[in-house]
């Protein structure tokens, strides 16, 4: 079994996230992609976001079109209030899927920052990383990544960011095509991003 972690803020989940996850599942024959909203993102502390429960619900809706994608609470807020680190999430995944080949999905922008994450060497031991193109960012090798533990996914070309979507929602602009319509309905009915 080939299982991938796809972590992020997903505030809200958008067309770029869905495209990345489905394209990775196609290209690398992934059986399961755990799309896991982060409880508390260590590098974005202090940034206001919608609640974990709302982001989980929206991720569930965004995953509904592809049976390989599943919303996961693996990265839920910790009881002690500490930030969530991907290395700990992957260690948990390793225990939950002891027989699986583990992957982690990431966009080119986030990949460039990985050397600042907790225990980078361990991150590449625990999983093979699938790094996707993102408009405006280059796919550049990182010195810290050991050979054979990083794969490029060059078929993702969706110029959408959660920041851009939040701005449009805030201004009352149309977001059709930028986020799944079910997510948009959830946002409207729960009055999020006002």
Under the binding rule (CB under 6 A), the answer on residue 69 touching ligand ATP is no
- Among the candidate windows 5-13, 73-81, 96-104, 176-184, which touches ligand ATP by CB under 6 A? 5-13
Instruction: Provide the 10 A C-beta neighbour count for residue 43.
Output: 11
CA dist 135 and 105 (Å) reads: 16
SS3 36: strand
- The minimum distance between CB 134 and ligand ATP, in angstroms, equals 4
Q: Is 51 in the site for ligand ATP (CB under 6 A)?
A: no
Complex with ligand ATP: residue 82 or 135, whichever CB lies closer: 135
Give the contact letters, 147-166, x = binds to ligand ATP (CB under 6 A), - = no.
---------x-x-xxxx---
Give the one residue of 59, 62, 134, 180 binding ligand ATP; rule: CB under 6 A.
Answer: 134
Q: Cβ closer to ligand ATP: 79 or 140?
A: 140
φ, ψ of residue 34 in degrees (nearest 5): -90, 110
If binding is defined by CB under 6 A, does position 55 make contact with ligand ATP? no
Q: With respect to ligand ATP, which residue has the nearer C-beta, 99 or 178?
A: 178
Q: Which of 127, 132, 178, 183 binds ligand ATP (CB under 6 A)?
A: 132
- Nearest approach, Cβ of 57 to ligand ATP (angstroms)? 15
Burial 49-60 (b: 16+ CB within 10 A, else e): bbebebbbbbbb
Residue 54: strand, helix, or coil? helix
Across the beta sheet with 2-8, the strand order is: 69-71, 32-37, 2-8, 101-107, 128-132, 150-153
Give which of 25, 122, 9, 116 is closest to 65, Cα–Cα: 25
- Residues pairing with 33 in the sheet: 4, 69
CB 58, min distance to ligand ATP, A: 11
Summarize as ranges the residues that interact with ligand ATP (CB under 6 A). 8-11, 16-17, 20, 106-107, 109-110, 132, 134, 156, 158, 160-163
């Amino acid at each position: 079994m080939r299982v991938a972690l796809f972590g992020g803020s997903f505030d809200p989940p958008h067309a770029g996230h869905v495209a990345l996850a489905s394209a990775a599942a196609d290209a690398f024959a992934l059986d399961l992609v755990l799309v896991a909203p982060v409880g508390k993102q260590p590098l974005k502390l202090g940034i206001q976001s919608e609640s974990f429960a709302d982001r989980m619900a929206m991720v569930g809706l965004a995953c509904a079109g592809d049976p390989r994608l599943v919303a996961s609470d693996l990265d839920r807020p910790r009881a002690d209030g500490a930030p969530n680190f991907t290395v700990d999430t992957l260690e948990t995944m390793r225990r939950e899927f002891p027989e699986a080949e583990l992957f982690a999905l990431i966009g080119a922008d986030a990949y460039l920052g990985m050397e600042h994450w907790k225990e980078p060497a361990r991150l590449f031991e625990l999983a093979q990383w699938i790094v996707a193109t993102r408009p405006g960012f280059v796919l550049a090798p990182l010195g810290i990544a050991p050979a054979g533990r990083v794969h490029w996914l060059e078929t993702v070309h969706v110029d959408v960011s959660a920041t851009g979507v939040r701005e449009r929602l805030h201004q009352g602009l149309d977001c059709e095509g930028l986020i799944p319509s079910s997510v948009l309905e959830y946002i409207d009915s729960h009055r999020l991003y006002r």
